[in-house]
Structure 1
Amino acid sequence: MHLAKVKDHCFAPVEHRFDFRDTILYALGLGFGSDPVDPAELPFVYEDGLKAVPSLCVVLAHPGFWAKRPEFGIDWLRILHGEQSFEIHKPLPAAGVVHGEYEIEALEDKGAGKGAILHQAKRLRDDTGDLVATVRSVLFLRGDGGSGGFGTPPATPGVLPDGLPDAVVDLPTLPQQALIYRLSGDYNPIHADPAAAYAAGFDRPILHGLCTMGIATRALLRARAGNDPARLTSMFVRFSRPVFPGETIVTEIFDQESGVVRFRCRSKERDVVVLDRGHAVITG
């Protein structure tokens, strides 16, 4: 990896215009509307009174798969998504325009053969210049340790509390879930092409980590926010294992102090944790 080029890289601002079809497609990629007679999920997939899922902010104004560009020297086939968070500052519209501003905040060098951790931030603004959302992501560069680092990584939530969860939500995924979700903008071939998935170390295509996060968002909205997206104002997850399309995602929710919940997600079929250290703030 060419550390200086990564450190000095300046992202061009990204303008993203989206309409009701984009918002509905994103929700369908998370499985909203799986019960055609459930009135609680209809507002996320029907244009009459449409509401945006809060986690839609993670796919808006995406800068593209910049790490694949040869000048950075990153072993892009070995990149894994490590963590993701968002904070909503202003209600996310179901259609409109946002402007994305990107920066790389820090790079942690774990040492040769141990990889590196890249922290990047996106700030979404509307046409008035108001900050709509701050989105942070962490990439695990498995093949790029030993190149050095820079910056100060932001703090992350600690381990989950002991004991039984206060609520559990099971949400199945479709075998073609990744093929639907990728239409919201993440076209990494490991989510569609078996050959690309195998080259990355998987025996078949995996579900996008952000899709798993979106499904956890769906579970939190159902169990703790009355399916009101305005109440879910921030969320953090750590991606611990991949999900394979067709598996059932079990979200275990632990209530904390007022407005704060912790959670994790499991694959029901393999009984492994796929999202860990989840943290969310729910108002009202």
Structure 2
Amino acid sequence: MIVAEKLLAYPIPEIRQSLRWQDVALYNLSIGLGQDPMDLRQLPFTYEPGLVAMPSMAVVLGYPGFWIKAPDTGVDWVRVVHGEQSLTLHRPLPVSGEVIGTSRVTGLVDRGAGKGALIYSERVIRDAASGEKLATVAMTTFARGDGGFGGPSGPVKPPHPEAEGMPDLVLDLPTRPEQAAYYRLNGDHNPLHIDPEVATKAGFPRPILHGLCTFGVVCHALMKGLCDYDTTRFGTMDLRFSSPVYPGETIRTEIWHRPGGAAFRARVVERDVVVVSNGAFRFA
């Protein structure tokens, strides 16, 4: 069972990570870039001369691993799902060097017995040599099996309002059947995404795509549709995960222009299921 005071002070390991151009190329490939070898706008994301990091790569930098699985967290890790994710980019990501990720639990919400709990956490990523802040990533973990531990009932992060009417822009990006197996090589080794037995225990018919891989695919759509792949224009991206994606499905990102940015959501074409909702994007 979760003990609120203990989890709020949980010592998530600080991570110092060496970054190579191969790591950047692997991440970009793992979210689906490079599927069209003749698309010259995508070539800088996969080819080392002039290599560029997709902004969403920040979510795997300085990553402390699946720390919530440790027995002393008190969390029923098999039943956790990724609820929300945000990313603020303070400067373009490097393609080599060393970065430091410092993570902490920032809040807990007890939704009651049988209703689960929300775990809010944040990670700040800095350049190890200069100390400059590169990115801030924040996430909400929905611990489906951990409600009723006697924790606070709020505050709950308010979602961005959903857009109405027809979108101004629609982009379809396919995922590959083996994409989760590639994506986990970025450091997210949760067996839910590769082991059928673990997926079944968690209530899914087969392994699901990482929520952060879906995040990366949607980031790709936003960069393509709003920024013409200019990563210096990326400011902030925030979304809520509504339903899982199964590897091999096509993610359709629907975009509504807004002053200074955009609202967005995403759905799986094959099942017509919304998988990302309450999305908000801001230009740098």
Shorter chain as denominator, the TM-score bin is over 0.9
Q: Which residue of 1 aligns with 2:219?
A: 217
Q: Which moved more, 1:63-72 or 1:16-25?
A: 63-72
Q: Deviations over 1:86-122 (max 9, x none)?
A: 1011221112211111111100000011000000000
Deviation for aligned residue 1:44: 0.4
Matches of 1:144 and 1:83 in 2, distance apart?
Answer: 18
For residue 215 of structure 1, give the secondary structure of its aligned residue in structure 2: helix
Query: What percentage of residue pairs aligned between the two structures are identical?
Result: 48
Q: Sort the Cα spacing of 1:122 and 1:95 in 2 relative to 1 into closer, same or farther, 3 A.
A: same
Which residues of 2 match residues 23-102 of structure 1 at below 5 A? 23-102=24-103
Contact 1:60 1:98 in 2 (8 A): yes
Q: Which residue of 2 aligns with 1:14?
A: 15
Deviation for aligned residue 1:277: 0.6
In the superposition, the TM-score normalised over structure 1's length comes to 0.96
Displacement over 2 Å in runs of 4+: 148-159
Q: Which residue of 1 aligns with 2:147?
A: 145
C-alpha RMSD of matched pairs (Å): 1.4
For residue 12 of structure 2, give the secondary structure of its aligned residue in structure 1: coil
Q: Which residue of 2 aligns with 1:248?
A: 250
Matched residue count: 282
Deviation for aligned residue 1:46: 0.6
Q: Sort the Cα spacing of 1:151 and 1:113 in 2 relative to 1 into closer, same or farther, 3 A.
A: closer
In the superposition, the TM-score normalised over structure 2's length comes to 0.96
Contact 1:157 1:279 in 2 (8 A): no
For residue 128 of structure 1, give the secondary structure of its aligned residue in structure 2: coil
**What one-letter code is carried by the residue in structure 2 that aligns with 1:220?**
L
2:273 corresponds to 1:268: no
Unaligned runs of 5+ in 2: none
Q: Which residue of 1 aligns with 2:2?
A: 2
Deviation for aligned residue 1:158: 2.3
Deviation for aligned residue 1:232: 1.1
Q: Which moved more, 1:63-72 or 1:25-34?
A: 63-72
Contact 1:106 1:149 in 2 (8 A): no
Unaligned runs of 5+ in 1: none
